[in-house]
Structure 1
C-alpha cells in the first residue's frame, strides 16, 4: 500500500495520540506556580538563617566546624540536603519545564523532606544539655517544605479539562478497538486493496 493510499483517519488518530501523550505529560499549575515560587524563595532564605545556635543552614549543608560545634545530627543534614535538592531544585525544574514527572519527583522528595524536618526539629529539641534548640531557619524551612508538599500534591492530582477529555477519548477508542472482531478488520483491509488486474 503506498503512502497516498493510507487511511486519513489513521493518520489523524496517530496525530491525536501524540497530542494526548504530550498533554498528559504536562502540568498546569496556574496561580499555584506563584505560590510554589515564593515557597522556594522562602526555603532558600531559610538556608541563610540560623538552624541552631550560630550554625546557619549553609553550615549544616557543608557540615563545617560551626555546625559540628553545636552537635548537628544526621537528620538535620539530611533535611537541608533534601530541602535543597527536591524543594528548590526539582520544584524549579518542574515549574520551568511543566513536566508532570518532575512535579511528581518534587512532590515525593518534598514529602520525604517533611518527615526529615520533623526528625531534625525533634533531634534539636532533645539535644544533649548545653546544645541549642531549633533555630528560626530550621522551623521556617520545615514549614516551607510542608506547604510545598501540599501545593505540589494539588498540582499533580489536578487534571485539566483537556487532559480528562483526551483520556476519555482514548478510552472510547480502546473500547471501539476491542469490540471490533477479526473479521471486521479483514473486511476493512480487503476494501482498501485495489482489485487485481485480470
Structure 2
C-alpha cells in the first residue's frame, strides 16, 4: 500500500506528463475541417490546367517551366504533405513549418501566375494562368492562413 506522499508524487508526475504533451501539440478545432477542405481543393487544382495546357501534376514533373514547378513542389510539400502530418500528429512545430512554408508557397504561386501572364515576351510556356493554378494559389493561401492561426493559438 502506498503512502499519501507517494500518491501525490505519482499524481504530480502524471500531471507533468500531460502538461508536457499539451505544450507540444496544437488544438485545431474547426481549423482541421477548413484545412482538410482546402487540401482537397488544392488536390483538385492539381488535376486542372495550370500553364500552357499542362495540368498541375504535369507541372510538378517539370512540364511548364521552373517557376510554376517551384510552386507545384512547395504547395504539394507544405500544403498537402505537411498538412497531413499536422492533422495526424497535431505537433506544434510542424504547424509552424506549414505556416511558414505555406506563405513561401503562396508567394511562389503569385510568381507562377505572374510568369504565365508575362511569359510570351520570353518565349516560355504561357498564355495566361489556368484555372487550376489560380485555384491552387487560393487554396494555398487559405492553408497558410489557417496554419498561422493554429501556430499562434498555442498558449
List, as ranges, runs of 4+ consecutive aligned residues in structure 1 with deviation greater than 6 Å.
none
Q: Which position in structure 2 is the counterpart of 1:47?
A: 46
SS class of match (2:119): coil
SS, match of residue 51 in structure 1: strand
For residues 74-128 of structure 1, give each alpha carbon's deviation from its aligned partner in whole angstroms, at most 9, with x where no partner exists: 2211100111111000101111221212212211211110111111111111102
Contact 1:73–1:123 (Cα < 8 Å) also in 2: no
* TM-score (normalizing by structure 2): 0.87
Asked if residue 22 in structure 1 is aligned to residue 27 in structure 2, the reply is no
TM-score, with length taken from structure 1? 0.69
Query: Is there any run of 5+ residues in structure 2 with no aligned partner, and where?
Result: none
1:117 paired with 2:112, answer no
Work out whether residues 60 and 73 of structure 2, in 8 Å CA contact, stay in contact via their aligned partners in 1: yes
Show CA shifts across 1:23-67 (max 9, x none).
11111111111110000000000111000121111111112xxx3
Kindly indicate whether residue 83 of structure 2 is the aligned counterpart of residue 88 of structure 1.
no
1:128 corresponds to which residue? Answer: 120
Match of 2:93 in 1: 101
> Which is bigger in relative contact order (C-alpha 8 A, separation at least 6)?
2
| 1:51-90 equivalent positions in 2, closer than 5 A | 51-63=50-62, 67=63, 72-90=64-82
Gap runs ≥5 in structure 1: 165-198
CA-based RMSD of the aligned residues comes to 2.0
Structure 1 CA distance for aligned equivalents of residues 51 and 82 of structure 2: 26
